[in-house]
Amino acid sequence: MSITATLIGQMITFAILVWFIGKYLWGPMTQMMDDRKKRIADGLAAAERGIHEQELAEQKATQHIKEAKEQAAEILSQAQKRGVEIVEDAKDDAKAEGERLITAANAEIEQEVNRAKETLREQVVEITIAAASKIVKKEIDAKAHGELLKDVVGQI
């Protein structure tokens, strides 16, 4: 039970072991754990940033929607106005057309009446001639009395 040369052997073993563990375990492992700590911190920061960006994006989106709604309302009101205008125009056109048609119809009617009067007049002349010839029992020479007949027809 005394200190022997084993001491020297154990000291050498100890030194080698400290070097070995420092090189292959302590060094890489503490390095890795530091890296991991840093990565976790970075990840959390990135998540925080992401949340912030999302909030911004949501705000932007709401604003866009609001603007779009306003634009849509404006377009709608314009369209309504335009529609009313078109209807008014159509009404005016229709009125004008109707009046034109009526005028045309009236003119035609008048023409027809005139033509009917003319025809009637000629037929009256013929009937008158027939009637007169029967009354005088004498053939009226159409040639001889043509001028007289024309005068009569003109007076009718």
Cα distances from 109 to residues 43, 90, 102, 116, in angstroms, run 95, 28, 10, 10
Nearest-angstrom CA–CA distance, 124 and 139: 18
Binding track over 11-50 against another protein, x by CB under 8 A: x-xxxxxxxxxx-xxxxxxx-xx-xx--x-----------
Stretch that binds another protein, among 4-12, 49-57, 58-66, 88-96 (CB under 8 A): 4-12
Count of residues making up the chain: 156
Shortest gap between Cβ of 57 and another protein (angstroms)? 30
Q: Max CA-CA distance within the chain?
A: 192
Q: Which lies closer to another protein via its Cβ, residue 13 or residue 114?
A: 13
9 touches another protein (CB under 8 A): yes
Q: Which lies closer to another protein via its Cβ, residue 1 or residue 136?
A: 1
Residues that bind another protein (CB under 8 A): 1-11, 13-22, 24-30, 32-33, 35-36, 39
